[in-house]
Amino acid sequence: MKFFVDTADIDEIRELADTGLLDGVTTNPSLIAKTGRDFFEVVSEICEVVDGPVSAEVAATDHETMLAEGRKLAGIADNIAVKVPLTPDGLKTCRVLAQAGTMVNVTLCFSANQAILAAKAGASFVSPFVGRLDDIAADGMNLIAEICEIYENYSDFKTEVLVASVRSPMHITESAKMGAHVATVPASVLWSLFHHPLTDKGLDAFLSDWKKTGQSIL
């Protein structure tokens, strides 16, 4: 399973990239706005820090402008995945960009049928938003199960399921059990995956016993 971090904060990205366990980054207009920085500058920096796919989202809603924006974004670096919304114009744009060899992440997916359309449009990634479904008392993880099951039925679907709007470590465990290819996760949730109180307790005990031996390895 691949882990992307869902942020445009370059310091958070650098820290996670240092672990060697970060496979990509997703941004969206809200995350870019939060940085208060220039869109192109931030995205270029992220692409230099991370080798894997970096999602940068178009701002237009009509096909022609989305396509022009997508082509401009794709020119930033080879690892850009152009993010388009799951609308008819977005999917039309996805198809053209994908045929030209550009990675496309189709975002704002909230149903299995939308995910089928994204796969047919040749998306590299489809982003179902689990947390936002949970927020309205729908079952976000059930959507992931449905999409994974459907994609398994069609060997010509090459789209990866990118679980988005992740709010907790349980979303990640459940996604992995279902075979989702990628989870994009806030930095705080990614860091929480490393920790367990019994790991800390066990390490304390080992270190204290080792100290008693008076030995050193180096």
Residues noted as catalytic = 83
**Interaction between residue 175 and ligand E4P (CB under 6 A):** no
CB of 190 to ligand E4P, least distance (A): 12
Among 25, 130, 35, CA closest to 81 = 25
Alpha carbons 141 and 166: distance in angstroms, whole number: 10
- Using CB under 6 A as the binding rule, whether residue 42 contacts ligand E4P is answered as no
CA 180-185-189 angle, to 5 degrees, is 120
Joined together, the tokens standing for residue 122 give 């040749």
CA distance 8 to 196: 27
3-state secondary structure of 61: coil
Q: Which of residues 93-152 bind ligand E4P (CB under 6 A)?
A: 107, 127, 129, 131-132
Query: Distance from CA of residue 71 to its chain's centroid?
Result: 21
Q: How far is the CB of 188 from ligand E4P (least distance, A)?
A: 12
Work out how close the CB of 208 gets to ligand E4P at its nearest, in angstroms, rounded to a whole number: 41
Among 24, 25, 28, 82, binds ligand E4P (CB under 6 A): 28
89 binds ligand E4P (CB under 6 A): no
Give the binding site for ligand E4P (CB under 6 A): 6, 26, 28, 107, 127, 129, 131-132, 164-165, 184
